[in-house]
Copies of this chain bind each other. A is one copy, B any other.
Amino acid sequence: MADDINSPVPGVTPKAAYHHGDLRAQLVAAVRDLVETYGPDGFSVSEAARRAGVSSAAPYKHFRDRHEILRGVVSEAMDRLFAGMEAAAAAYPVGSLEAMAAVGQAYVDFAKGEPGVFRLVFGLTEGHENAPDLLAKGESCFGVVVQAVAACLDLPLGDRDVQRRAYMLWSFVHGHSFLHIDMKTRVTTAEIDDWDYLMTISRAILARPARP
């Protein structure tokens, strides 16, 4: 899952790296903050370098261009999202509705916790969003949903119906996340309790007969 290609930091930060001490990771962290503060398009290489305390040319020793830094942020964020979803599923009995809702809750929590990064991860990022490693991480995340659905329905992972229902649940959770962080929920008078909603939706979509 984790590929450390062209990363000077294999696993953990080695004491203090060459000159600066792990500039790469610090740049990614700076960009993450910038994206969180100013949105996916409010970030600049110069500002990130400034925050990391280096010259504006330094980042180019670690990244080809501005896009590659963003990809670094996305990659790291998807790792955290995946970990959160897995941990949530593991906290409830396999095949329970609660496990299903918990996976959704982890997703919503991520969106609420770092909306800027969430937007970056799920938005369309100028051209190279086709990076195979990011696609693989996306599949891993969706895989957690598929697994929970399959367990609920007691069907194999590849089952057509499992995939369908997993996608429906994802759509719902994804839509709810965006509507919330984009503050569109003011148009409805309904008070929205995440867990309650997630349980209701899981129940509705995982009901035995897909089409009566």
A interface with B by C-beta (< 8 Å): 39, 41, 119, 122-124, 129, 135, 138-139, 141-142, 146, 158, 160, 163-164, 166-168, 170-179, 181-190, 192, 197, 200-201, 203-205, 207, 210-212
Which residues of chain B are within 8 angstroms of A158 by Cβ–Cβ distance? 189
Which residues of chain B are within 8 angstroms of A190 by Cβ–Cβ distance? 160, 163-164, 166-167
**Contact status A200-B210, CB under 8 Å:** yes
Which residues of chain B are within 8 angstroms of A39 by Cβ–Cβ distance? 124
From B123, B177, B183, B204, A204 is in contact (CB under 8 Å) with: B204
Residue on B with the closest CB to A126? B39
Q: Whole-angstrom distance from the CB of A117 to the nearest CB of chain B?
A: 14
**Contact status A183-B138, CB under 8 Å:** no
Which residues of chain B are within 8 angstroms of A41 by Cβ–Cβ distance? 41
